[in-house]
Structure 1
Amino acid sequence: MLEAKTHLSRLVEAIENGSEKEVIIARNGKPVARLVPIEAQPTRGKRRLGALAGKYPDMTLEQFNADDELIARMFNGDAE
């Protein structure tokens, strides 16, 4: 453990440049941790805003909020 603390940046560099595939860190001779490279995250495709444009009817704010009281009653268990 002391050696890992002392040489951590060198150990990380060895993982980064591929000279080591993994480093096992032990405490009192017992393995307790493994230092390994992070797998490259797959890149997502570009997100496109407005992908659902035209799929739902346009509505005013008043129309959108029209059922707020009914929804609140449903959540409170008061709806009939």
Structure 2
Amino acid sequence: MFEAKTRLSELVKQAQQGEEVIITTGREKRPVARITPIEKPQIRRLGLLADPGYKFPDSFWDPLPEEELALWEGGAE
């Protein structure tokens, strides 16, 4: 554990390079912690957003007609 505290920066760099670092304690060198690299999450786009060139039409931002707005707000059909 003492060695890990004094070499923490080096151990983190090893993890950044893809290595898994196990920290041990005591004379028996019992494993107590693990430093592993964090993988970047993969961004998955669905539907229309899967196409990076897709643009919403300007009318997308227009206010809803009163009848449709009433339906969204729980009004009767």
Tell me the TM-score normalised to structure 1 length: 0.53
What residue number does 1:72 align with?
A: none
Alpha-carbon distance, 1:43 to partner:
1.1
What residue number does 2:54 align with?
A: none
8 Å contact from structure 2 (residues 23, 34) kept in 1: yes
After TM superposition, the runs of 4+ consecutive aligned structure 1 residues lying more than 4 A away are none
CA RMSD after TM alignment: 3.2
Which of 24, 29, 41 aligns to 2:22? It is: 24
What residue number does 1:14 align with?
A: 14
The amino acid of 1:40's aligned partner reads: K
8 Å contact from structure 2 (residues 17, 37) kept in 1: no
Pair 1:4-2:4 in alignment: yes
Query: When the two structures are aligned, how many residues end up with a matched partner?
Result: 56
Q: Which runs of 5+ in 2 are unaligned?
A: 50-59
Identity over aligned residues, as a percent?
42
Alpha-carbon distance, 1:39 to partner:
1.9
The within-5 A match list for 1:1-80 is 1-18=1-18, 21-28=19-26, 29-45=29-45, 46=49, 57-59=68-70, 64=73
The amino acid of 2:22's aligned partner reads: I
